[in-house]
């Protein structure tokens, strides 16, 4: 089930981040940790807890514990010299590179408060970092945690934002570009777009996400889906077939003639059937009712694309004379994120993660000339897949992502050159 190779073993099982030297500003890994650093220096433990209540934390879980109790692995804790037991949790920005023997699980402060084991006396948050903070775990203290969670944690507010790591990101190049190809989904989930040390929503949540949305339950299934996405074989082939036919139309001033495009789509499809079906293959109108039905569907797709593109122009997603040449980005963007989901679920090795990201970068650059073009292709693919011309949340949410990613100063699309 798990992917592990000998050279992935390392000593960074838990985070170790040195204190900054006197007079040297500390570079926090992300905005949350910068805020926690200021609160720790101010000895404001209550506001620190409130920030944890909003964001949640990650707890380490040895894979042996997960195998023994997959539904409820115990809280990892150690005994310190004074006889007390201490459990450690971390915020997302401090999570180390994945280790073959241990995963990190996401947990809310409320869940910790309500399921805290009686034999653990102390909670340490972000141990051995400049944001280290300790809390005794009395009943009264844990009631504070539960109240803060109830007052401030809203899962739906954790997404729809550009989250950028300030430290540990790969250098400019194909890896960083490949990570940026998954920016739509990173924005939607509130995930950091530029980290290779992927834990996502926590190991069990990554596993559940892949099973629910993709039917992926093990390494072999992940490898299959990852390859099909990179090969652009998950989206229906005929979407790009119809778009490709438009590119063969003779240049003309003004918008494309919809009926000419439809006729060319039908002719190209029937020619393709005749060429691939061998001599005498039924391809003329009336020869094959199923083919006629498919032709009608592709002719209708022309109108659907034109209506989406008109809306895209009205909403600023396309320029006034712009159109979508390919929906390759719909598979490529998901391939970028699939590589990270596979790593979070431990179906992928680090080398496989990097290889997939580099291939995603290559595919994106082969198909598009800019992030704006890439985004329009992604949005059209998503709409054709889910929206059914309702222009509902499947469209409005990704439009919001597009606008943020083309304007936010931290967006990869403003910091990573497309070419």
Q: How far apart are CA 373 and CA 365, in angstroms?
A: 11
Residue extents of the structural domains in the chain? 6-157, 174-235+328-415, 237-314
Q: How far is CA 141 from CA 19, 145, 410, in A?
A: 28, 7, 37
What is the predicted pLDDT for the residue at 368?
98
Mean pLDDT, all residues of the chain: 96
What is the predicted pLDDT for the residue at 282?
86
**How large is the average pLDDT for residues 201-228?**
97
pLDDT in tens, 222-274: 999 999 999 999 999 999 999 999 999 998 888 899 999 999 999 999 999 99
Q: What SS3 class is residue 351?
A: helix
pLDDT in tens, 65-120: 999 999 999 999 999 999 999 999 999 999 999 999 999 999 999 999 999 999 99
Q: How far apart are CA 357 and CA 244, in angstroms?
A: 26
Q: How far is CA 50 from the centre of its chain?
A: 26
CB atoms within 10 A of CB 198: 23
Q: How far apart are CA 375 and CA 187, in angstroms?
A: 13
What is the predicted pLDDT for the residue at 1?
60
pLDDT in tens, 362-389: 999 999 999 999 999 999 999 999 999 9
Percent of the chain predicted with pLDDT > 90: 93
pLDDT in tens, 306-345: 999 999 999 999 999 999 999 999 999 999 999 999 999 9
- Comparing CA positions, the residue from 357, 314, 380 lying closest to residue 196 is 357
**How large is the average pLDDT for residues 148-167?**
96
CB atoms within 10 A of CB 412: 24
What is the predicted pLDDT for the residue at 283?
86
CB atoms within 10 A of CB 218: 14
Comparing 28 with 3, which gets the higher pLDDT?
28
**How large is the average pLDDT for residues 207-219?**
97
pTM: 0.95
Q: pLDDT band for 410, please (50, 70, 90 cuts).
A: very high
What is the predicted pLDDT for the residue at 4?
61
Residue 104's H or E segment, with its range, is strand 102-107
Look at residue 5 and tell me whether its pLDDT is greater than 80: no
pLDDT in tens, 37-62: 999 999 999 999 999 999 999 999 99
What is the predicted pLDDT for the residue at 199?
98
């Amino acid at each position: 089930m798990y992917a592990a190779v000998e050279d992935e073993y390392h000593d960074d099982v838990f985070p170790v981040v040195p204190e900054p030297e006197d007079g040297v500003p500390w570079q926090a890994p992300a905005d949350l940790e910068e805020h926690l650093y200021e609160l720790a220096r101010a000895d404001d433990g209550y506001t620190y807890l409130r920030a944890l209540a909003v964001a949640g934390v990650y707890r380490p879980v040895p894979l042996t514990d997960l195998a023994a109790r997959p539904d409820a692995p115990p809280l990892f804790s150690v005994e310190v010299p004074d006889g007390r037991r201490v459990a450690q949790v971390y915020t997302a920005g401090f999570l180390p590179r994945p280790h073959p023997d241990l995963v990190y699980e996401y947990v809310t402060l409320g869940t910790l408060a309500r399921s805290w084991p009686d034999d653990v006396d102390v909670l340490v948050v972000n141990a051995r970092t400049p944001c280290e903070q300790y809390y005794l775990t009395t009943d009264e203290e844990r009631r504070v945690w539960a109240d803060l969670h109830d007052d401030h944690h809203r899962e739906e507010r954790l997404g729809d934002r550009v989250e950028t790591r300030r430290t540990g990101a790969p250098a400019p190049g194909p890896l960083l570009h490949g990570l940026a190809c998954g920016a739509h989904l990173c924005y939607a989930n509130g995930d950091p777009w530029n980290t290779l040390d992927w834990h996502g929503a926590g190991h069990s949540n990554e596993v559940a996400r892949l099973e629910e949305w993709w039917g992926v339950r093990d390494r072999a299934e992940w490898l299959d889906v990852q390859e099909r996405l990179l090969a652009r074989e998950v989206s229906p082939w005929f979407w790009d077939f119809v778009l490709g036919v438009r590119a063969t139309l003779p240049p003309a001033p003004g918008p494309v003639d919809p009926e000419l495009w439809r006729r060319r789509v039908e002719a190209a499809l029937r020619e393709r059937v005749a060429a691939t079906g061998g001599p005498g293959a039924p391809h003329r109108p009336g020869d094959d009712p199923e083919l006629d039905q498919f032709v009608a569907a592709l002719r209708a797709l022309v109108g659907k694309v034109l209506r989406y593109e008109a809306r895209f122009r009205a909403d600023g997603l396309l320029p006034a004379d712009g159109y979508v040449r390919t929906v390759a980005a719909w598979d490529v963007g998901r391939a970028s994120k699939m590589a990270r989901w596979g790593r979070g679920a431990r179906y992928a090795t680090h080398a496989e993660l990097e290889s997939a990201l580099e291939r995603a970068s290559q595919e994106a650059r082969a198909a598009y000339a800019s992030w704006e073009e890439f985004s329009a292709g992604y949005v059209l693919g998503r709409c054709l897949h889910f929206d059914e011309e309702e222009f509902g949340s499947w469209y409005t949410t990704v439009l919001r992502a597009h606008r943020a990613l083309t304007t936010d100063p931290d967006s990869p699309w403003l910091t990573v050159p497309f070419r």
